[in-house]
Amino acid sequence: MSELAERLGYNAEDRLFILTCDNLGRTHAGNVAAYQALREGLATSATLMIPAPWSRAAAKAYRGEDVGVHLTLNAELDLYRWGPITHAPSLLDGDGGFPRTVTDLWEHADTEEVRRECRAQIERAILWGFEVTHLDSHMGAMIQRPEFFDVYLDLALEFRLPMRLDADESQSTAGFPFRNLAREEGVLFPDYVTSVGAGEPHSRLIDILNDLESGVTEICIQPASDTPELRELDPLSQRRVAAHDALSNDASLLAIVTQIRAKPIGYRELRAIQQHAS
């Protein structure tokens, strides 16, 4: 049973889902796919990578969709780079972009530079016209280390926004109760979070929908349209293209949602409750 579902005006046993297109702004192909999935398909939310090369184009194409800020401190691809929008020497690797791995980030990042950079990313999204609905952490970098999570939670409180948090079992890996800490501060987050990885088949999304539990589940996916540039820079490009096709063109997914009586929502609903409560 879900207290969050009840606070949203549903029954505690109802199954609600947020279907999020991650990495808006990373590529033109990703922008096209995410907005199509939001406007014509099953997606209900997206997350924006402000430092990434196509984020300004994502802002130009924005029409009021449910978009959060994907706080970005890593640039994981080998040949495609992006870096801080603030002066943040500790957030740079040897070739001028963010570190490729979270381990490298954690070992070298100055916490105050992290705080300044992340706040600037949120402020830039607002300046560009986004009605920011929530916060998220690219590659989970802000969640699994206490000093980074403190920044993440502080920003959620400062901007009065809900946030994405890893599942309950991830707290033991992290070594501290980040979900409990957020709950104590009154910050809202989905009951469950799962994802369709770029290397996983389309059937994974069908399985997730069929197995939804009572409460709010966020399903994260990374769709992209098929372009030569995407094929060159991303070794998992064809899986992202398949995700795009599933979200925007597969009528069977909507049929499944109808059959199991699942209810699509966005982060905007969580934000409304959190801001009213505060």
Residue 242 pLDDT: 85
Residue 204: its pLDDT value, please? Answer: 85
Q: What is the mean pLDDT of residues 254-274?
A: 94
CATH fold, domain 16-277, is TIM Barrel (3.20.20)
pLDDT of 181:
97
Q: Work out the average pLDDT over 139-162.
A: 97
Q: With 80 as the cut, is the pLDDT of residue 213 above it?
A: yes
Task: Categorize the per-residue pLDDT at 120 as very low, low, confident or very high, splitting at 50, 70 and 90.
Answer: very high
As beta bridge partners, residue 135 has: 69, 163
Q: At 247, is the pLDDT very low, low, confident or very high (cuts 50, 70, 90)?
A: confident
For residue 240, what pLDDT is reported? 87
Work out the burial of residue 5: count CB atoms within 10 Å of its CB; fewer than 13 is exposed, 13-18 middle, 19 or more buried: buried
Mean predicted confidence (pLDDT) in 57-64: 98
Q: pLDDT-derived band of residue 243, with 50, 70 and 90 as boundaries?
A: confident
Q: Mean pLDDT across the stretch 69-73?
A: 98
Q: What angle do CA 78, 81, 85 make, to 5 degrees?
A: 150
* pLDDT surpassing 60 at residue 139: yes
**pLDDT for 47:** 98
String of DSSP letters for 233-260: H-TTHHHHHHHHHHHHH-HHHHHHHHHH
pLDDT of the residue at 118: 98
The set of long-range contacts for 233-237, using a CB threshold of 8 Å and a minimum separation of 24, is 233/27, 233/77, 233/79, 233/80, 234/27, 234/77, 234/80, 236/198, 236/199
Task: Give the residue, 1 or 220, on which the prediction is more confident.
Answer: 220
Q: What is the pLDDT of residues 95-117, one digit of tens each?
A: 889 999 999 999 999 999 999 99
Cβ–Cβ under 8 Å, residues 107 and 35: no
264 has a pLDDT exceeding 90? yes
Mean pLDDT of the chain: 94
Q: Encode pLDDT of 158-193 as tens digits.
A: 999 999 999 888 899 899 999 999 999 999 999 999
| Mean pLDDT of the 60-88 span | 97
Q: How confident is the model at residue 201 (pLDDT cuts 50, 70, 90)?
A: low
- Domain layout of the chain by residue ranges: 16-277
Q: What is the pLDDT of residue 199?
A: 63
pLDDT of residue 198: 64
Q: Left if phi > 0, otherwise alpha if psi is -120 to 50, otherwise beta: which for 161? A: beta
